[in-house]
Amino acid sequence: MPVATKKLRSNRAWIERHIHDPFVKRSKAEGYRARSVYKLTELDDREKLLRPGLTVVDLGAAPGSWTQIVRERLSTKDGHVQGRIIAMDILPMDPIDGVDFLQGDFREQEVADKLSEILNGDKVDVVLSDMAPNLSGIPAADAARSLLLNELALEFCLDHLKSNGVFVTKSFQGSGFSQYVEALKKAFKKVDIRKPAASRDTSAEVYLVARHLKPRK
């Protein structure tokens, strides 16, 4: 079968699955920007990641569904954000009240300077990363791109996370995964692997929850 035909059938199957996905329907009904919102809600319900008063950075935030939940869970009963929420992405994102959005690569000096200005010398309580590369369909290439994003997110944590902070990142089981988990275990005292219900069974996607940075040598 020609590659183009295979890709067309795969795209059709994805669209069909997406249309009938209960999490997609639920997210639209509840006003969230993407079905991925339910991955974070389950993680937070289990891990108790978010509460008012924290400083949270959401890497790869667009279109903003995770940021929406962070805002909800850092808000007081009257709806005001208590804490700081910083969303970052190279893609544009529609504004969310009470959230600082920085568009650009967080490795770039201009973006880093803006982040430093917002943090004003403070460290971060929680770093969230739902970043994923643009997939090529070539497993080895996609795994390498995903792993690079994981490594960049870890470097960000080492620079900005509090010693008792929490890092949550999406990763894909496959080439390089076990080595990345080991890298997290070298940097953090506790690392858990989670598979939320909203993460499709057919996907190699999992979430790593890392707590308490070890002292850097």
170 classed as catalytic? yes
Q: Which of 39, 46, 41, 40 is nearest to 198 (CA)?
A: 39
Percent of the chain with pLDDT over 90: 67
Please state the separation of Cα 185 from the chain's center in Å.
Answer: 19
Per residue in 163-192, pLDDT tens?
999 999 999 888 899 999 999 999 999 999
Question: Which whole number is the average pLDDT over 108-120?
Answer: 96
Query: CATH number of the domain at 33-213, please?
Result: 3.40.50.150
What DSSP line would sit under 36-104, residue for residue?
A: THHHHHHHHHHH----TT-EEEEET-TT-HHHHHHHHHTB-TTS-B-SEEEEEESS-----TT-EEEES
Per residue in 17-75, pLDDT tens?
656 666 677 767 676 767 788 999 999 999 999 999 999 999 999 999 999 999 999 99
Q: What is the pTM of this model?
A: 0.86
Choice among 6, 162, 170, 186 that is catalytic: 170
Band (pLDDT 50/70/90 cuts) for residue 203 is confident
Rg (CA), the chain: 18
Q: Which of 70, 62, 114, 115 is nearest to 93 (CA)?
A: 62
Q: pLDDT higher for 138 or 42?
A: 42
Question: Which whole number is the average pLDDT over 87-114?
Answer: 96
Res 144: pLDDT: 83
Res 114: pLDDT: 97
Per residue in 140-169, pLDDT tens?
777 788 899 999 999 999 999 999 999 999
Q: Give me the chain's average pLDDT, please.
A: 88
Residue recorded with tokens 């997290």: 184
Residue 146 near residue 134 (C-beta atoms within 8 A):
no
